[in-house]
Structure 1
Amino acid sequence: MLYTVKEVARLSGTTIKTLYHYQKIGLLLPQEITQNGYRYYGDKELEKLQQILFYKELDFSLEKIKVSLESEPNRLMILYEQQKLLEARQKKLTNILQTINKTIEYERNGKSMNKKNMFTGLNKEEWTVIFKDQNKHLENKYNIELNTDEINTNEMNKKAAEATKFMDFMANSLKNNLSPNDDKIMEAIKNHINFLKNDIEIDKDGFVAQSRFFLSDEFHREMLENIQTGLSYFICIAAEHYASL
């Protein structure tokens, strides 16, 4: 089956201009170009476009994407590699979210956070780069500045597993159409809050406040939505139900 440029753009969520650009640089060529200039794409081209978009989600440059696709022509091997990279990014975002949770609670309670507890799952250089954007956002919008001069990742890495487990469970529950009021979700939130209590003062209402903040703040909402579309709203609804019990 062949698809027009317009159909491919609609299916993939890209633009016609983007597809023309990919053709121009030799990244994605149509299967067929008619004498009157109409471009048609086949299933192989759609598969390649899918791989290109996966790489773009990983912030690969178009040049790097082209090299990657040319160096590994096996589609399944490319998908396995992209799966690993995307899972690593998801874990990294989850770890960052866990740290933000604690940071907000400390700021909300007017307390200073132990610098050893400020970083999770990343080495010093990676955290420095990532916190640059977060710090800029918090400072510009909320007049909050995080001191990231002293970085110790060991303690925070121990907490990353719990945060990843919780977010993965919530994301999978949403994907599987589980109700936010489900008993399993209530139990997961209970366990998550109990875990957070090891480091910060937080209760049901405090977790609701966190969830509402992440839903309303574009920076943190995007972090959750990158894990699973609708996750920020799903967690907020679940948290509110848990607090009402």
Structure 2
Amino acid sequence: MKVKEVAELTGISVRTLHHYDEIGLLSPGRKAESGYREYTDEDLETLQQILFFRELGFPLKKIKDVLNSPSFDRREALLLQKKMLLEKRSRLDQMIALVEKTIQHAEGEIQMTNEEKFQGFDFSHNPYEKEARERWGGEAVDRSNAKLADMSVEKRDAMAAKMNDIYRKLAGLRQGAPDSEEAQSAIKDWYDLLNNNFGSYSLEAFKGLGQMYVADERFTKNIDQFGEGLAQFMSKAMTIFADKTK
């Protein structure tokens, strides 16, 4: 199957499939007579594995490491994915039940204690934290968490507003060149904001963060809310900024 046909079959964008190819996660395994590369049935099975892992919140780098491991076994992976998805469903069922009880409470049908209102919530795990620790070290993450914990609500709100302003400014520039003076000025504002509020970012860490914006679809989805293609634009601009500032 050609890339467009795979995109239509799976609902994944052609751009995402091209990105998987570029990073070596999934490359079409057969070359047709026309010269175009085509996806085999085995490639589609691998793509299904990737999507199962993505549904469970695995970053692309981790998925690539798992699939390339000599010990990888597709059946074992499917059994593990089934177990994890069942656990995820159980958590969602708990949250749905909590919402239903809260509706009944709001309508006066039942009374909930304050403890019952928050049963089922679990903020003890940050899905990005383990990844950040592995990439940049635990010390930088701890400094970042400590700074956030020390911030007042007003300061956090002000910081969030400033972040959104920078996102919007970069979104307005994303059709232009990432190495333009305006783009680089806005990216410097982004670099300064991160360093002032989330601990010390080295230029290499800043560049790596930009790469995660496109390598991890969770980041891409959040950033592209301000404009399609913004994550890709920021990633390029951050790489240019880091390389030029060294």
TM-score, length-scaled by structure 2 = 0.46
TM-score, length-scaled by structure 1 = 0.46
Kindly indicate whether structure 1 or structure 2 has the higher relative contact order, using CA contacts under 8 Å at least 6 residues apart: 1
